[in-house]
A and B are shown apart, each in its own frame.
Chain A
Amino acid sequence: MKKNDTILLGHGSGGKLSHDLIESIFVKYFDNDFLRQQTDSAILNLGNKKIAYTTDSYVVDPIFFPGGNIGNLAIAGTVNDLAVSGAIPKYLSCGFIIEEGFPIGDLEKIVKTMAIDAKEAGVVIVTGDTKVVDRGKCDKIFINTSGVGLIEEENVNIGSGTEIEIGDKIIINGSIGDHGMAVMAARNDLKINAEIISDCACLNNMINEVSKKIKVKFMRDATRGGIGTVLSELSKNRKFGVHVQEDKIPIQEGVRGMCELLGFDPLYVANEGKVVMVVGKNDANEVVKILKKNTFGKNASIIGDIKDEHLGTAWLETVIGGKRIIDMLSGQQLPRIC
């Protein structure tokens, strides 16, 4: 059969198809040292300062969901991308693509939440753009935000995790899959009322609390593709194995139930307020303690270890004590989740 000659929904899933597309089209033509790193933010030199720079677009459907709206995502997503790169987020831009006929009241609601979130996260929205397209030419509203932050020299390797060592611990700041299942439940076609609330949140202040005291060796926000994709990526081409224990990974009953019902693997369900951290063995308990003091880290947990076995792969010890590999998500699990 012929190779893909059209874009499929799976190309936007954050999984293997997305990666292949980035490699075969974007990196191929835009090729440069920064892009090739493929980290959440590019780390750039500007005068004698280092900055982190990132961008993201938001097309979530529905635009209002339990626990937030597309505006919350647009701020949190970009702020978190900067924060997990080890940077202090500073300035954001935002671009709106709006469908003709969209209620201005809804736009105001979205923009208001963006303003509140930006203030709480300590970032300033300094520039923007608005485009309106014919009815039917986009679905209600799409938002793009980009952001810059300052990054200290000692934090530049957090995004790539080059300082990870055998014995290090893997930590997550709370339950997985909340955002994906909240959006899924909010979609009319499923008619499910599961009372699941999105975890959408800016994590930069919480992350800052940790990095002020402790050396974090790796961070990644587990958005599309879930923690499964993060753990798999973390292990690829590395001289260590990533080992996590299923029974240590926090998950809410509602999310677990919905995943069971719909056949989703919660490891691959999207989060919008979760960060996977790797820290030194002796620092792990302290990090969890700091995280637990924060609203967004109450259910923080050490979920696994960096080990000297199964090099280059991520492994899950299942609840029954069996073992299986954690690979990158292939194809799409859920479209338009962020």
Chain B
Amino acid sequence: MVLNFKAMKYIDEYRNKDIVVGIAEEIKKNSTKKVKIMEVCGGHTMSIQKFGIPYLLPDTVELISGPGCPVCVTSRGFIDKAIAYARMDDVIITTYGDLIRVPGSHSTLDKEKAKGADVRIVYSILDALMVAKKNRRKKVVFLGIGFETTAPASAAGIIKAQMAGLRNFFLFSAHKVMPPAMETLIDEGVEIDGYIGPGHVSTITGEGIYADIPKIFGLGVVISGFEPVDLMQSVLMLVKQIENNDPKVEIQYKRVVKPEGNIKAQQMLDEVFEPGDDWWRGLGVLKDSGLKIREKYSMHNAEVQIPVEVAPPIEPKGCICGEILKGLKKPKDCKLFAKVCTPSDPVGACMVSSEGSCAAYYLYNR
């Protein structure tokens, strides 16, 4: 890959101070009611904190972080099981970097790595396939977490492994889908007046998956990009919807998200995965919120092919990750925050992930 960075098109335009300040004034002009807007996606949380966006919003608009950080909602049980795999002599764990420091009940993957386990950080599932190709005698397990954004890549990986006859490649899937969590939050009575919808999830799924949210729950969703201008504009669109009592699904991130989404990726998802119940930190088991590997691909399903017993997970005492993920509390409300729980020695998952709200607050807004 040869990258040419001569001009940062589509970045600088969206970080233009004059435009941002202009939108901030518009928001102020339009906003009369106090509103709570949830950014569902962890990438949004990070961007909001990194650019200091709350500092630019009027007192009437409060942003709260939602459950859209894949690492954060993943259960300790998943990490415990990944660690159990890592401890097997004939297993190589391949994973995206952000999982490696997430605490399981008793250890983390990077501690296991330091003790000699073969744990490798990859930047793409294709790298994991290469590892499998070069290590035919080993079982190569890829840890698949994330929402509709990353799941198609995992699906593609499995299809490729099948085609290439890589019998030693396995996916350990904790992939999830977003809408059930967004609907559950409203059902549980979390005070939200509108959603900033995840941009990259929607790139895959399109806008249709959120249709029920305005229709049944009466809340607006604005699918947003990740740059400051995107986020400010999305807040403005939501404020206008709320003020005019006109909840609907709108796409702010039009340069990337098409209403119908990425059909090919959707087909791939459907080919490899089927919906199943899944456990979310803070929300518990949500119906049809997980992506389970279909029977026909079970030869690449780590859970089927490499059975392992792990004790029930131990959740840390005092950690309020669950309530933070539901937007009920802010990181600063947690007794452990920045005292016992820090990015270098995290207690809860929200402090580990680069998209976790606790990590974002710790880094940028303490």
Residues of A within 8 A of B (CB): 1-4, 6-10, 15-17, 20, 189-194, 247, 253-254, 256-258, 260-261, 263, 265, 316-325, 327, 330-331
Q: For residue A325, which residues in chain B have a CB less than 8 angstroms away from its CB? A: 363-366
Nearest A residue to B110, CB-CB: A8
Contact between B3 and A8 (Cβ–Cβ < 8 Å)?
Answer: no
Q: Does B268 contact A (CB under 8 A)?
A: no
A322 to B16, CA, bound (A): 12
Q: A7-B114, A10-B344, A16-B344 are in contact. Are A261 and B20 (CB under 8 A)?
A: no
Interface pair A330/B51, CB less than 8 Å apart: no
In whole angstroms, what is the CA distance A322 to B57 when docked?
Answer: 10
* B342–A330 touching, CB < 8 Å: yes
Question: Once the chains are docked, how many angstroms separate the CA of A327 from the CA of B366?
Answer: 9
- Chain B residue with the shortest CB-CB distance to A1: B103
Q: Which residues of A contact B123 (CB under 8 A)?
A: 189-190
Would B343 and A331 count as touching, CB distance under 8 A? Answer: yes
A6 to B113, CA, bound (A): 10
User: Out of A2, A7, A263, A323, which one reaches B354, CB within 8 Å?
Assistant: A263
Point out the residue from B3, B6, B115, B343 that lies within 8 Å of A330, measured CB to CB. Answer: B343
Expressed in whole angstroms, the Cα–Cα distance for A144 and B172 within the complex equals 43
- Tell whether A324 pairs with B49 under 8 Å between CB atoms, given A8-B110, A260-B11, A330-B344: yes
Nearest A-chain residue to B104, judged by Cβ = A1
Q: Is B159 an interface residue (CB 8 A)?
A: no
Q: Are B15 and A193 in contact (CB under 8 A)?
A: no
- Tell me which of B104, B316, B366 has the highest count of chain A C-beta atoms within 10 A of its own C-beta: B366
Verify A331–B52 contact, CB threshold 8 A.
no
- For residue A146, give the distance in angstroms from its CB to the closest CB of chain B: 28
Beyond the given A318-B52, A324-B50, please list 16 additional residue pairs across the A-B interface where CB-CB is below 8 A: A1-B105, A6-B114, A193-B3, A194-B5, A247-B17, A253-B8, A254-B5, A256-B5, A257-B8, A316-B52, A322-B52, A322-B56, A323-B55, A327-B363, A330-B344, A330-B363
Contact across chains for A320 and B56 when beta carbons are under 8 A apart = yes
Q: Which residues of B contact A7 (CB under 8 A)?
A: 114
Residues of A contacting B342 in the complex (Cβ-Cβ under 8 angstroms): 16, 330
Q: Is the CB of B114 within 8 A of A193?
A: no
Is the C-beta of B127 less than 8 angstroms from some C-beta in chain A?
A: yes
12 contacts between A and B (CB under 8 A): A2-B106, A3-B345, A10-B101, A16-B342, A193-B1, A319-B17, A320-B15, A320-B51, A320-B53, A321-B52, A324-B50, A324-B363
- How long is the Cα–Cα vector from A277 to B8 in the complex, in angstroms? 29
Is B228 among interface residues, defined by CB-CB distance under 8 A?
yes
Q: Provided the pairs A1-B316, A8-B114 are in contact, do residues A322 and B344 lie with their beta carbons within 8 angstroms?
A: no
Task: Count B interface residues, CB 8 Å.
Answer: 47
Indicate whether B311 reaches chain A with its CB closer than 8 angstroms.
no
> In whole Å, how far is A237's beta carbon from the nearest beta carbon of chain B?
15
Determine whether the beta carbon of B1 is less than 8 Å from that of A192. yes
B51 and A319 contacting across the interface, CB-CB below 8 Å: yes
A327 in contact with B362 (CB, 8 Å): yes
Q: How far is the CA of A8 from the CA of B109 in the complex (A)?
A: 11
CB neighbours (8 Å) of A260 from chain B are: 8, 11
B216 at the interface (CB under 8 A from A): no
Chain A hits for B363, CB < 8 A: 324-325, 327, 330
Whether a CB of chain A sits under 8 angstroms from the CB of B286 is no
B111 interface residue, CB < 8 Å from A? yes
Select which of B3, B108, B364 is within 8 A of A261 by beta carbon: B3
Q: Choose among A15, A253, A265, A324 the residue that contacts B365 (Cβ–Cβ < 8 A).
A: A324
Minimal Cβ-Cβ distance residue in A for B229: A320
Which residue of the partner chain, among B5, B11, B106, contacts A258 with CB atoms under 8 Å?
A: B5
- What 3 pairs between A and B have smallest CB-CB spacing? A322-B52, A330-B343, A257-B5
- Given A193-B2, A318-B50, A324-B50: A253 and B344 interface contact (C-beta under 8 Å): no
Q: Which residue of A lies closest to B56 (CB)?
A: A322
Is the C-beta of B107 less than 8 angstroms from some C-beta in chain A?
Answer: yes
* A325 CA / B363 CA spacing, docked (Å): 7
In whole angstroms, how far apart are the Cα atoms of A254 and B1 in the complex?
Answer: 14
Closest-by-CB residue of B relative to A256 is B8
Question: Given A9-B110, A192-B3, are A323 and B52 also a contact pair (CB < 8 Å)?
Answer: yes
Check B7 for interface membership: any CB of A closer than 8 A: yes
User: B119 to nearest A CB, angstroms?
Assistant: 11
| Residue in B closest to A327 when the chains form the complex, CB atoms | B363
Within 8 Å of chain A (Cβ to Cβ): is B308? no
Whether B256 sits at the interface, judged by CB under 8 Å, is: no
Q: How far is the CB of B58 from chain A (nearest CB, A)?
A: 14
Least CB distance from A312 to B in Å reads 12
